[in-house]
């Protein structure tokens, strides 16, 4: 059986998780960790394979996701790891995820870096994953399934990993469009949005864009002069199309 563990506030990693799970062709279960832990380790039995997927935040695995992945007990089972990034760089994130799986006790047999529309700057890599990305994801899974093992030192990235950092830009509510349905507060992975007042605690907010992805009224947005300036600079620097990178 294949067990796919993923963290995906803005849903692009989720799209890869679904596509890869389908390509694997085994009985499978998808375990969405976006909202916290899920006590399923006991379902893992010898001969199963695990697939871990996470987005890249500032060149690393989001700490909240890393913490959840660290709680899974590998017991020598095979693991495939994949990260999804927004066309800037993935730096040490893929190596970090492979290391986490290995430290959990899994034997890592494949690692891949994939592209998606940047959730903070959605004009960057807009529309990705596209058909070519999903074909690459299917090819990755086929090859990882056949792989006997992966030397983690061949994965791009450095140890020690780059220092973790946060993004100063935070989504805000457009009051005129907000219908106070509270979905943003219920769905926020860090509980940063107050359930009653719907105000955001910027210290808890990790800028993950979950609130933007789940708001049916498009009432959560990045706005202001600081965002507009950052967006222009980011887009100018990171618009060249990047392609998936695979390691077996």
Ligand X SMILES: Cc1cc2nc3c(=O)[nH]c(=O)nc-3n(C[C@H](O)[C@H](O)[C@H](O)COP(=O)(O)O)c2cc1C
In the complex with ligand X, the residue whose CB is nearer, 11 or 28, is: 11
Residue with tokens 């020690």: 160
Give min distance, CB of 107 to ligand X, in A: 26
Angle at CA of residue 87, ends 82 and 90, nearest 5°: 45
Q: Residue 178: count other Cβ atoms within 10 Å of its Cβ.
A: 16
In the complex with ligand X, the residue whose CB is nearer, 79 or 82, is: 82
Give min distance, CB of 114 to ligand X, in A: 9
Judged by CB under 6 A, the residue of 5, 21, 31, 55 near ligand X is 55
In the complex with ligand X, the residue whose CB is nearer, 74 or 86, is: 86
Task: State the pairing for strand pair 28-32/78-85.
Answer: unpaired
Angle at CA of residue 226, ends 220 and 232, nearest 5°: 95
Position 208 contacts ligand X (CB under 6 A)? yes
Query: Cα–Cα distances in Å, from 170 out to 74, 87, 164, 173, 210?
Result: 36, 20, 17, 10, 11
**For residue 114, which of 147, 145, 141 has the smallest C-alpha distance?**
141
Contact 14, 8 (CB under 8 A): yes
Specify the stretch interacting with ligand X by CB under 6 A; choose among 20-28, 84-92, 133-141, 153-161.
84-92
Contact 66, 32 (CB under 8 A): no
Position 134 contacts ligand X (CB under 6 A)? no
Position 200 contacts ligand X (CB under 6 A)? no
Judged by CB under 6 A, the residue of 21, 50, 86, 101 near ligand X is 86
Position 207 contacts ligand X (CB under 6 A)? yes
Give min distance, CB of 213 to ligand X, in A: 7
Position 57 contacts ligand X (CB under 6 A)? yes
**For residue 68, which of 78, 48, 53 has the smallest C-alpha distance?**
53
Q: How many CA atoms are closer than 13 Å to the CA of 131, on its beta-carbon side? A: 0
Residues 159-188 binding ligand X (CB under 6 A) are 167
Give min distance, CB of 167 to ligand X, in A: 4
Judged by CB under 6 A, the residue of 31, 56, 65, 155 near ligand X is 56
d(CA 31, CA 16): 13
Judged by CB under 6 A, the residue of 80, 209, 215, 219 near ligand X is 209
Judged by CB under 6 A, the residue of 89, 107, 130, 187 near ligand X is 89
Position 12 contacts ligand X (CB under 6 A)? yes
Instruction: Point out which residues bind ligand X (CB under 6 A).
Output: 8-14, 55-59, 84-89, 116, 118-120, 167, 207-209
């Amino acid at each position: 059986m294949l067990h796919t563990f993923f963290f995906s506030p803005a849903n692009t990693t989720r799209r890869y998780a679904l596509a890869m799970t389908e390509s694997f062709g085994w009985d499978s279960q998808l375990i969405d960790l976006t909202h916290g832990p899920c006590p399923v380790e006991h379902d893992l039995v010898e001969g199963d394979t695990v697939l871990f997927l996470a987005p890249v935040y500032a060149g690393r695995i989001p700490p909240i996701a890393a913490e959840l992945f660290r709680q899974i007990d590998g017991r020598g089972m095979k693991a495939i790891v994949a990260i999804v990034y927004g066309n800037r760089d993935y730096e040490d994130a893929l190596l970090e995820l492979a290391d986490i799986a290995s430290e959990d006790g899994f034997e890592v047999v494949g690692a891949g870096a994939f592209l998606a529309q940047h959730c903070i700057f959605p004009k960057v890599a807009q529309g990705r994953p596209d058909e070519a990305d999903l074909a690459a994801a299917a090819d990755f899974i086929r090859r990882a399934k056949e792989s006997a093992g992966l030397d983690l030192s061949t994965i791009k990235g450095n140890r020690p990993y780059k220092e973790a950092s946060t993004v100063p830009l935070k989504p805000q509510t457009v009051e005129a469009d907000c219908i106070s349905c509270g979905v943003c507060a219920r769905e926020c992975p860090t509980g940063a949005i107050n359930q009653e007042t719907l105000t955001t605690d910027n210290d808890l907010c990790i800028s993950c864009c979950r609130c933007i992805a789940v708001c049916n009224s498009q009432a959560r947005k990045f706005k202001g002069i600081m965002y507009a300036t950052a967006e222009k600079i980011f887009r100018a620097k990171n618009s060249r199309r990047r392609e998936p990178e695979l390691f077996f």
